[in-house]
A and B are shown apart, each in its own frame.
Chain A
């Protein structure tokens, strides 16, 4: 896990990010630089703001209506809060994986091709076999192809295990070629076996995508990330190489959290 990145390209950069839910301030001057192509995990006690950061990157937070944001979030050097940013385009390039796997109640095939279908123009004709190739590639990428290739027409919500559903939810992001994958505790609904399978998959995707992984599970952060961000009370306390943070945390609070003194 050492010397994982020689490139120092920054995929996501937050600049003095402050965020309020109504009158409650959830983020205080968050300055983060998430490097391209690696896995960065975010840890911290419940309510520390790690999910809020995640949900601000693809701007899904705004739907709540009472969210106010100050500062900037640059994804691939473009501030996503600029007026000329189209949400559909943003979310095409920044995919989100949720805590509870949420495949759509349509067939496995349609789930995978869904994003591709909504993002292509009506003039852009695409043959069935091209679609099949896209679906197969995405499912192979998440190591699910062999398990589901015979039931692509079955509803995705019917007989897949939670682990398989979560892999499906990752796979459906891939056909539109996102640059960033945001994962909000992607394994917390899974059993240990499923967790390790999905962790392996996340590790497998490393390099090709910039992955920002929010987790409650410190062992997971340690196993499955290159860098780690520790947040507390809406502030970034520490951001360093995962190995360094878990061995020699720079801050007292980080050490306390890692050792389980609060959380």
Chain B
């Protein structure tokens, strides 16, 4: 064949099969795109509903005063403060324990040992336990067995048990993401495991560990069941004076005024929900921002 004979034809032109493949590809992309977008809809609807119906209730006084008239008016101050108490103390308990466990599992535990497998299994199962079961466990263990009574301490410890597996898994994952080459470099210079962990592994895993912990704030703040039997009260006329007192909490307060108290004006429960949602949103956003900020500083 002479080269001149083919000079005007496009040797890369599409054939029927190519056109069909291209159509299928486009269709699939659009379908998947729609599905991905659908998940935004509930979030947007929740935000709009909460702001529309709960927005009018929000004011400085709402956040800083006690409920009044049998919880049909007034603010949410004791519940807000109680939630802060519960979250703070539960993290105080679960973070040291969880991070220590994760360090052991990631850096010390022999991979094929039966104890490692048992701990891993326990962690996974603990993460899957429904929160109402945690509540009953907390009631039996902390309130009754350890004689803590229904108190902030008992409720916080119950929340701690609930958040513990996630703290462990998040910490473990971020420890594992530290390149093995760093550890080998240290070991080959004669550093002990602990020196390696302290000087190299932990500083580089801190971002992920922090993020995992912060995400537990929103989870602990939102849970109702675990604190219901263990330390949170429907209504208290005064603030708790210590960790052995009961407290109000936002999530339980929302449940109470929505279902147990007649004649509560609509905007109050929606206002409570908005505050709770706002806390979660702020905490999560902060955590994502922190992760991105620290990641941008971390290069290897």
Contact = CB atoms under 8 A, between A and B. Distances in A.
A145 interface: no
B150 interface: no
A91 B188 contact: yes
A102 B189 contact: no
A50 interface: no
A173 B188 CA distance: 9
B181 A105 contact: no
A119 B190 contact: yes
B114 to A, nearest CB: 15
A115 B186 CA distance: 8
Scoring B182, B190, B191 by chain A CB atoms within 10 A of each residue's CB, the highest score goes to B190
Nearest to B181: A102
A114 B190 CA distance: 10
Given A102-B181, A104-B200, A58 B298 contact: no
A90 interface: yes
B185 interface: yes
A104 B190 CA distance: 14
A118 B298 contact: no
- Taking residues whose C-beta sits less than 8 angstroms from the other chain, chain B's interface range is 20 to 34
Nearest to A173: B189
Interface in A68-95: 87-92, 95
B187 interface: yes
Please classify the interface of chain B as helix (H, G, I), strand (E, B), loop, or mixed, using the class held by over half of its residues: helix
Contacts of A28: none
Interface string A4-34: 0000000000000000000000000000000
Interface residues of A, number: 30
A162 B290 CA distance: 30
A158 B186 contact: no
Contact of A115 (B181, B184, B190, B203): B190
B270 to A, nearest CB: 48
A95 B182 contact: no
B189 A105 contact: no
B182 A92 contact: no
B182 A115 contact: no
Scoring A98, A104, A157, A158 by chain B CB atoms within 10 A of each residue's CB, the highest score goes to A104
A122 interface: no
A97 B195 CA distance: 20
Interface of B: 110, 112, 179, 181-182, 184-192, 195, 199-200, 203-204, 298-300
25 contacts: A63-B187, A65-B110, A89-B190, A91-B187, A91-B188, A95-B188, A98-B181, A102-B182, A104-B182, A104-B186, A104-B199, A105-B182, A106-B203, A114-B189, A114-B199, A115-B190, A115-B191, A118-B189, A118-B192, A118-B195, A155-B299, A157-B300, A169-B185, A172-B189, A176-B190
- Closest 8 A/B residue pairs (Cβ): A91-B190, A102-B181, A88-B190, A96-B188, A157-B300, A115-B189, A92-B190, A102-B185
